């Protein structure tokens, strides 16, 4: 059994590797280790994620896809989730999520001679709960977006919405780096900010 961990954060400003140690500890506690780790900053509402697709391409039947939480794997709408679920099944992967204890037993190697009735039942029930958690993750995403939009609309109506305040100190340092001829990626890496932040700052100077 080959355990492949998947770590995701939505934006470049977030640390996608935050849960790396938690996943390693979890695997060790279950008598196994993580053999490959895939990390990316990409929205969970998109199926076209480079590292996730690479994981699916690398996988062999019987491998485990290990995540911290189901929403790290998916915040997809139903139709797109169905596509991802089919690709996971075609790859022969078993999904194990720290926030879904029922899946933890899937880290145990299958019994010799094929699946027992109990193992088959465990996989079936685990899949059912995975479906539920994927739907919940999407609903949570939609609820948060709706609330944020409502809050912004209310603030705009009251004339109080000004958007996210700009970090003037950071922007000054970005301008200095760019003036010295540093690249966008090099500046972002040095100042530990996103490339989108650097590009916005550069655009404001044009």
Q: Distance from CA of residue 183 to its chain's centroid?
A: 27
What is the H or E stretch that residue 130 is in? helix 117-157
10, 43, 105, 194: which is the annotated catalytic residue?
A: 10
Q: What are phi and psi of 97, to 5 degrees?
A: -125, 135
What is each CA distance from 132 to 25, 80, 97, 125, 157, in whole angstroms? 26, 15, 13, 11, 37
Annotated catalytic residue 10? yes
What is each CA distance from 78 to 64, 74, 87, in whole angstroms? 23, 10, 14
Active-site positions read 10
């Amino acid at each position: 059994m080959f355990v492949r961990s998947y770590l995701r954060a939505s934006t470049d400003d977030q640390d996608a590797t935050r849960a790396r140690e938690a996943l390693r500890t979890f695997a060790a506690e279950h008598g196994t280790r993580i053999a490959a780790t895939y990390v990316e900053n990409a929205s969970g509402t998109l199926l076209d994620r480079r590292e996730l697709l690479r994981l699916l391409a690398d996988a062999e039947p019987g491998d485990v896809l290990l995540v911290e939480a189901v929403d790290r794997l998916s915040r997809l709408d139903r139709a797109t989730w169905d596509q991802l679920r089919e690709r996971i099944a075609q790859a022969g992967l078993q999904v194990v999520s720290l926030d879904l204890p029922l899946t933890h037993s899937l880290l145990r190697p299958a019994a010799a001679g094929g699946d027992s009735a109990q193992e088959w039942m465990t996989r079936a029930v685990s899949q059912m709960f995975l479906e539920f958690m994927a739907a919940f993750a999407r609903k949570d995403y939609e609820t948060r977006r709706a609330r944020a939009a409502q809050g912004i609309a209310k603030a705009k109506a009251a004339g109080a919405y000004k958007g996210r305040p700009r970090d003037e100190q950071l922007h000054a340092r970005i301008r200095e780096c760019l003036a010295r001829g540093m690249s966008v990626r090099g500046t972002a890496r040095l100042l530990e900010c996103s490339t989108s932040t650097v590009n916005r700052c550069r655009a404001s100077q044009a």
